[in-house]
Amino acid sequence: MRALAITIAALLCCAAPACAQRLGPDDLAKMTVPAATHSEAYGSDPLEHGELRVPKGKGPFPLVVMIHGGCWTSGFADLTYLRPLAADLETKGVATWNVEYRQLGDKGGGWPGTFQDWAAATDHVRALAKAYPLDLSRVVVIGHSAGAHGALWIAARANIPAGSPIRSDHPLKIAATVAIDGPGDLTQFIGPDQKICGAPVISSLMGGLPTQVPDRYAQGNPIQLLPSHVPSALVAAVVLPPEAAQAYRTAALAKGDKAEVLVLHGIGHFDMLSPATPTGTATEALILKAAGVERIGPVSKAASS
């Protein structure tokens, strides 16, 4: 089976001078978007909270759990830069749960706290569904950059052995996952992480190298947890090279999983998160497909009634 790869040329994005003005997390965070429907804690730590957006109407609505990136390290980025995408998905009939979590530098961040927060935030969807019209059969987890690792890990965490500090007893069933420009294989990111993040963040996150703490990588590295039995889509652009995305896809297919790759050329690491850009539209279309929503335009009156 040939790899499914969609290539978006730089010419589609913009002219050369405009392409140089690439978006950063602050640019996205400063965009004006409607307020979230509801903010709620999913744990006792101040960082364990999320923003829920729910479309108007009876529902039930598919839900996208959103995990932001930031090199797994506090101070790089937070959930605010995913707000424009979350708000736009809401207009298309999709609820979103945009979560914050502990990272390296935060008390309890790294192993195992970061993983525990990703899991707790996702499983908290069950509590949200008691108060809001959410379709628990259509929960999609997406993540950007470091959050892409989180999204793929969430999809596969049911395979974590009993006794692991990052195992959940009853992980929420996930319909699909979309990993946006972030690694699905932590071992292959060791080395590049120094260049991209300015520090060896993978060994810091895991508490050592694969040779030092192999059990942690077996439990926290998505590619080592395959098959996830959850369809995945990987967006390759800057941090995730196309060959790395295809390598993950090949491994997933070999284990019987469904996987596809979207390759975006000539853009920045955050450009595909803006609904106003062609690559943002392409990424959002992938998310809508994962959620079982083919409509790309605003929610119609019939759908929101």
Q: Is the pTM of this model over 0.75?
A: yes
Over residues 275-293, mean pLDDT: 95
Residue 247 neighbours by CB under 8 Å, 6+ apart = 185, 188
Over residues 179-203, mean pLDDT: 97
Indicate the DSSP class of residue 104.
Answer: B
Whether pLDDT at 12 is above 60: no
Q: Which of 6-15, 73-82, 165-174 has the lowest mean pLDDT?
A: 6-15
**Do 52 and 36 form a contact (C-beta atoms < 8 A)?**
yes
Residue 185 neighbours by CB under 8 Å, 6+ apart = 221, 222, 223, 244, 247, 248
CATH of 5-304, one of 3.40.50.150, 1.10.760.10, 3.40.50.1820, 3.40.50.10440: 3.40.50.1820
Whether pLDDT at 205 is above 90: yes
SS3 string, 110-130, reads: CCCHHHHHHHHHHHCHHHHCC
Structure tokens at 264: 């975006």
pLDDT band at 149 (very low <50, low <70, confident <90, very high): very high
Res 137: pLDDT = 97
pLDDT band at 167 (very low <50, low <70, confident <90, very high): very high
